[in-house]
Each structure stands twice: as C-alpha cells, then as structure tokens.
Structure 1
C-alpha cells in the first residue's frame, strides 16, 4: 500500500466478510514456471475457499499442494470505494464425500457447463485486503462500462 489517507488496510474479519459476500474470484497457480489465473465460483467452508473443477490444468496444478493465491475485488458506488482481498495458501483436493457434501450444501454449484466432480480447497495462511476511495470519474471521458459512473448516473 502507498499509505495514502484514502487507503485503508482491512482486518482479518473484514476480509472474510468480503469473501463471504462474493461468489466469483480468481485463482492464481504456477503452471510450467509461470503464473496462470483461473476464474472460479466458490464457497467458504471451514475458513477455506472451496471450488469444483473438471480434469485439466487447474486440477493437476492444485494436486501439487504448492503455494497458490486467490483474489476478489469490488466497487461500491454508494461510497465510491473500491476494495481487494487476497488469500495465499496451499491447495489440496477434497476426496472425503462428507466434506464434498458440506460444500455442496453451501450452494457450490459450478457455473460453467460440464461435469465438475473434483473439489479443491485453498486453505489461507495469509489473508490481506485493502479499501480505498476511487478517483471521481470524469463525466465526459470515463468509459461507459466503468463502475464508477454509477455514482453520478
């Protein structure tokens, strides 16, 4: 963080609350020596992030139980604040049927078509976040799809 007065570090509980309010995030894994980002829908279960996947790169790399990161972010037009939360930890497959059922009971339903029979858990060992006041959009020059426009439309 740059330490500006507009920047505020989020505490642990605020980070979990924002994670709990979200349904889609980005999983970062190291693939062939470089970072790859995968969008996933998820649930929080036992203070961890759980998602389902089909066979493929996400599954193969998640099996390695190596460091991974998970990120969500958002913007609140009413307060004109943006926020970001990053969880870092290791991934592991969930093979226990009771643990899989617990995640499904929380509404873990894949968005993408196809069979997603593999469950992955990211257990954070670091959870950080920040909230900051976004610059006011320029009425004439800000792109139409910029979320900040909602504050004056």
Structure 2
C-alpha cells in the first residue's frame, strides 16, 4: 500500500464510462512516427466505445498512419475530481451500417464546419481514478 492509496480511488470500467457521459470535451492522443499530437474532441460514449466526428486534416491523416490512440477526459463533480484514460485503436467508419449507427448517437460538431468522417475508438483498456479535492498536507 502506497502513501496515496488513501487519497486516490480506482474506478471500475462502469464508473469510468459513467463519468464520461457528463463531460465535454475529451482529448485524443495520436502518434505520427516521432511526433505525438493531442487534439480536443467532442465525443459520445456508446457501450465501451468512443465516437467522434472529424473533417479532412491532421487527425484523419494521422489515423491513416497509426490507429493506436489514447483518449482522456477529466472533470470535477462537486468536490470529487476524476480522470479517465482509454487505450485503444481508432477506426474511420466506412461500412454504411456502422455510419448509420453512429448517426443515431446524436453527436453534433461544436465548430460550424462540415465533419463527414466518423471515428470509433475501440477500447482495449479503460482506467479511471477519483479523489476528493483538498488542501496539500503539511510537509514537515
């Protein structure tokens, strides 16, 4: 047991996904060869998958090179701070049935731009933690 075990609480997959239902935006981390990029995205949770929309550009190009991604979101609910990280693979939806399903999820772009491409992050690992916000303990 470490010093922080009494401060940080590990969230279950279900608790982690429940926190994601009530927050925007999230962030997606992608790797393009030696370069790492992070992008804010608005998203929707469906089961254990994250969906977002994107236009042609950096995100879409990077996904064509490497589908391994991290997704992160965090927030504050009352006096409880939390953070959720999802490791997984992102796929640009191409099958009409997949796109039709994504269209039913009610996700609208925030920016007034056309975003024709749906992306689904398929989770391989979902982890989260929470803690009560408080003052730093006495150091000495």
Classify the TM-score, shorter chain. Answer: 0.7 to 0.9
Give secondary structure in 1 for the equivalent of 2:83.
strand
Task: Give distance in 2, aligned partners of 1:17 and 1:50.
Answer: 15
- Show structure 1 runs of 5+ residues with no match: 138-153
Task: Give distance in 2, aligned partners of 1:2 and 1:65.
Answer: 38
Deviations 1:44-103 (A, max 9, x none): 2342111110011101112234311000100123xx110000000111110122222222
When the two structures are superposed, what TM-score results if normalisation uses the length of structure 1? 0.80
Measure how far apart 1:32 and its partner are.
Answer: 4.2
**Number of residue pairs the alignment of both structures matches:** 135
Q: Could you list the runs of 4 or more consecutive aligned residues of structure 1 that deviate by over 6 angstroms after TM superposition?
A: none
When the two structures are superposed, what TM-score results if normalisation uses the length of structure 2? 0.87
- Show structure 2 runs of 5+ residues with no match: none
- What is the root-mean-square deviation of aligned Cα atoms in Å? 1.9
Aligned position for 1:143: none
Aligned position for 1:125: 124
Give secondary structure in 1 for the equivalent of 2:5.
coil
